[in-house]
Structure 1
Amino acid sequence: MRFQYISNLNLNKAFERGLALLFVLTVGMQYTYGQTKPSIDSLRKDSISTQYDVGDLFNSIFHPKRKASTLGKKSAVTIIPNVAYNPSIGAQIGIKAVAGKVLGKDSNTLMSIAATSASITTKGIIYFYLNHNVYTPGNKWNLQGSMVAARTVVPDFGLGIGIAATGSEADLILSNPERKGYVLKAEYYNFREKVYKQILPSVFVGAGVSFDIRRNIEVSGDNDLTPYNIYSDRYGFDRDQYQSNGLLLNVQYTTRDNQNRAYKGIYADAGIRVNQTWMGSTKSAVQITTDFRKYWSLSERNPEHIIAFWNWGSYLLSGALPYLELPGTGRDTYYRSGRGYTVTYFKGPQYFYSEVEYRFPILRNKFLSGVTFFNIQSTNDELGTKLFKKWQPAGGAGLRVLFNKATRTNLCLDYAFGNYGSKGLFLGLTEAF
C-alpha cells in the first residue's frame, strides 16, 4: 500500500529545479564513471560478506559473540512489521515478508521472488496479498501471479490529467480540474496468474487470466454528482458492484541480474488483455499494456551506482473499463509508480508514465544508500483532452536500508512531491522498479 500527505503548495518551480538537478547528477555520474566499462559479472560472490544488513545489526546487538553469517547460510526471507499512518486509512499495523531464491543448480537461472502482507487499520480496512515471480531451473518456465482480498479505501480525484472539460456540469465534475478529493470504499478480490515459456534466450511468451471483482462500493458525498457515479452511469456499470475478468497474452524479455534490485540489464513486457462477458466480466474490453525497465551500472568497483529508467503504459483499444480499473497513477503491477501522488490521482483510458532514478551507496558497507528520482505522467479523459496534451511531474529523494544482502532486499523510505500541493512519505520493501 502507498501512503502520503497532501498540502496546498504550488511546486512548479521546484520541479524545474529538481529536473535540472537530476540531469546534472545523471550527466555528472556518467562522466565520472563512464571511463570504465562496468563488468559486474567479474565481482566475486564473497564480496557480499563485506556488506552489512539488518540481520547483521540484530546479531551485533543481541548476539555480539556470534560469527557473521556467510552467504550460504543467509536466510532468503525478510520479515518486517507493516506499520504506517495516513489520514485516509487511519493507523495501520500488520506484517510483511519478502523471499528470494534461485531454483536448481543452473548458474543462469534468474532469482525467484515472492511477497505477502496482511494488515488492518483503525478505520476497518483489511488488506491481504500474496504475489510471486518464479523461474524454474534454466529459466524454462516463468510463473507470475497474485492474489488479493481486501476491504479498501481508494482516494478519487476524477478522470484525466487535471484539465477542465468543456460542456455540462457533469463533465466538469468528472474532469475535476481542481482535484477535489473523494473517497471510494469497496470489497476487492483479485486473482491473476500468467505462465511464460522460454522460446529464445531471455525471451518468453505467456498466457493467463485475471479476475478483478469489486462489491459493496460506497462513494463519499451527499449527492449523485461524483466522478465515480457520473462515469459508471455513462458507461453502463452498476454503481454497487462489477467484475472485470479477462484473458492475458504477453511477450517478455529480461536480462536483469536480480529481480529485487538490478545492477544491470533490461526488463520488457508487452501484453494484451481481453475482458470477456462469458468469463463474468460486466463489459467487454481490449487493452494493451507495456512495461520497460533499463539499468546502467556506472562503476565496476561500486556497481550500486546506477541509473535506472522505467516506462509503463496502458491503452484501451475498444470497449469500456470500470472506473476503478482505469489505468493511472500507481496502477502498475506492484502499485509503485507515481511517487508524489496517491494511487489513481490521475487516470484515464490511455495512460503513459516514465521515471528515471539515480541510486548510490552512502556507507562503504552498503547498509545505507540513497536515491533521487523524477517522473512524469500523461492521460486522456475522453472529454476533449488527448494523451500527451498535458504532463504532470513529480520528484523526490529517498533512503535505503539493506534488509537482506543475499537477495538485495532494501527497505525504501522516499519523500516525493507533485503538483496541486501533493507530497508525502512513501514506504516500501524492495525498489520501486
Structure 2
Amino acid sequence: MKSCYFLGLFFLVTLKLSAQDTVVYQPNKINQFKLVPLPAIGSNPANGWLFGLAPSATWYMGHPQTTKMSNFVGNFLYTTKKQWIFSSRSNIFLNENKTILIGDWRYFITSQPTYGLGSSTPNDPAENPNQPGVWWGEQQMDFRLVRFYEAVLKRIGDSKFYLGAGYHLDIHSKVSSFQEEEITEVLEFAHDRYNTEMGFNTDKYTLSGISLNMVMENRDNSVSPYEKNFAWVQYKVNPPFLGSDQSSSLLLLDYRHYINLSERRKRNLIALWGFGNFLVSGKLPYMNLPGMGWDMFGRSGRAYAQGRFRGESMVYSEAEWRFPLQQNKETFGGTVFVNAASFSSKTTDEKLFEQFNPGYGVGLRVMINKQNRTTISADYGFGQKGNSGFYLNVNESF
C-alpha cells in the first residue's frame, strides 16, 4: 500500500535522528541485523485514521564484502473504519549472493475506490458512454485480500544474473461495490459487470500460479541505490489445476537505471524506471488486472491513488533527480520527479500509448541510518484532473 498512511511519522523521525532510533542486534559481525520500529499514524479518505507500526529491517546473510544487504519492510495497521492492513515485502540475499528470495505477503481487510478500466476514466461517477448502464468514475469497494508471493532465484555462475521460479496466490473475498453518497441513478458497478462478462464471481475469486523469473541485480544497494542498474523479467502462468478460477498468463518487465552525477557526492543522481505488466493470454478477475500502485512495494503512480487506473495491460515510466541538501552531510536530501502511465482496455476500446496519465512532484529525504542508507521519504505529487497526493515511505521509491 502507498505509505500516505504515515502522516506524522515524518515529523517524529526528524526530531530523533540518531543511532538510538535503530535497534541493533549483532550476534556476530556477519548478521549486523538492524531494525527500525517506525510508528505509523496517518489518515486518508479510503481508510480514515490509521494507527500501527511500519518496521524496516536490514541485515547480511554473509560477509558484507561478498554479500549484498537484505531488507524487509512491513505494515501493521488498524483504521478507524475497522480495517486491518498487514504486509511484508522482502529481498533476501543468501551467502555470497548465490540465492535471492523475493517475498510479498499481505492480508488486507480494507476498501479502495475504483474508477473503471483504461486511461480515460473520470474522477466523478457517471454513466460509462462505452457501456450503457455501467458506472464510470469513482466507485467504492470493500474487499479482503490474502496474498502470498515468493520467488527463489539462483545465481548463474559468477554473473549478475539470476534464474528461478516462484509461486503466487491472490484470494479476493467479500468483495462488494457501493457509492458512498446517495445517487439516484441505478447503474451496474464496473467491477461487477466486468467479472460477470468474463465468467468470474463478483464476491470471491482466486488466482494461483507459478512463474519463471530472470533478474539482473547490479545495484550497489537495493534499498537506496546510488549507481548501476536492475532488471526483472517474469512470466507467470495461472492454471486452474493450481486453484485459479480461469487460466491466464502475464508478462512483467521491470528495469531501473541509476546515473551518478558526482563522484564526490554519490547521492546526486538521476534514477530511471520503466515498468510493464501485460495480460498475455486468458482472463483475469477485475482486481488482478494490472493497476496503478500495485507493484511490489506500491511505489508507482505518485500523484494518483492506488488503483486509480487499471486495465488488461499497463506501461509505466518515471524519472527522478535525487540530490543532497547539505554540503558535507547526508542526513537531508531532496528529489524532483516526473512519471507517466498508459493502460489498455477492451471495454473502452483503448490501446496502450493512446492516452497517458502524467504526474510530477517534489520530495524530502531524511536518512536515519547512513551505514545502510535507511531513509524516510516524503513526497507530494500532482496529476491530471485535480489528482494529487502526499506519500510517506520507508526508503527510496525505486
Question: Which one has the bigger helix percentage?
Answer: 1
- Structure 1 residues 3-402: aligned runs within 5 Å: 57-58=17-18, 76-105=34-63, 107-162=65-120, 167-170=130-133, 173=134, 176=136, 180-200=137-157, 201-221=159-179, 223=186, 225-363=188-326, 364-383=328-347, 384-402=349-367
SS in 2 for 1:82: strand
Matched, 1:407 2:367: no
For residue 17 of structure 2, what is the amino acid of its counterpart?
A: L
Question: Which one has the bigger strand percentage?
Answer: 2
Cross-structure match for 1:50: none
* Residues in 2 aligned to 1:168 and 1:260: alpha-carbon distance in whole angstroms: 44
Two-structure CA RMSD over aligned residues (Å): 2.3
* Residues in 1 aligned to 2:161 and 2:87: alpha-carbon distance in whole angstroms: 28
Q: Residues 102 and 236 from structure 1, CA distance in 2 versus in 1: closer, same or farther, beyond 3 angstroms? A: same
Q: Residues 331 and 262 from structure 1, CA distance in 2 versus in 1: closer, same or farther, beyond 3 angstroms? A: same
The answer to whether the 8 A contact 2:110-2:144 is kept is: yes
Tell which has more relative contact order, 1 or 2 (C-alpha 8 A, sep 6+).
Answer: 1
Task: Show CA shifts across 1:115-139 (max 9, x none).
Answer: 2220000001101112221111111
Q: What are structure 1's unaligned runs of at least 5 residues?
A: 6-52, 62-70
* Residues in 2 aligned to 1:183 and 1:196: alpha-carbon distance in whole angstroms: 38
Task: Give aligned-pair identity as a percent.
Answer: 32
SS in 1 for 2:117: coil
Q: What are structure 2's unaligned runs of at least 5 residues?
A: 6-12, 22-28, 123-127
* Residues in 2 aligned to 1:270 and 1:360: alpha-carbon distance in whole angstroms: 30
The answer to whether the 8 A contact 1:54-1:404 is kept is: no
SS in 2 for 1:217: strand
Question: So what's the TM-score if we normalise by structure 2?
Answer: 0.88
Q: Residues 59 and 73 from structure 1, CA distance in 2 versus in 1: closer, same or farther, beyond 3 angstroms? A: farther
SS in 1 for 2:75: strand
* Residues in 1 aligned to 2:58 and 2:65: alpha-carbon distance in whole angstroms: 15
Q: Residues 145 and 57 from structure 1, CA distance in 2 versus in 1: closer, same or farther, beyond 3 angstroms? A: closer
Structure with larger Rg:
1
The answer to whether the 8 A contact 1:294-1:310 is kept is: yes
Question: So what's the TM-score if we normalise by structure 1?
Answer: 0.81
The answer to whether the 8 A contact 1:254-1:265 is kept is: no
* Residues in 2 aligned to 1:169 and 1:292: alpha-carbon distance in whole angstroms: 39
* Residues in 2 aligned to 1:281 and 1:72: alpha-carbon distance in whole angstroms: 42
The answer to whether the 8 A contact 1:218-1:240 is kept is: yes
Q: How many residues of Structure 1 are paired with residues of Structure 2 in the alignment?
A: 371
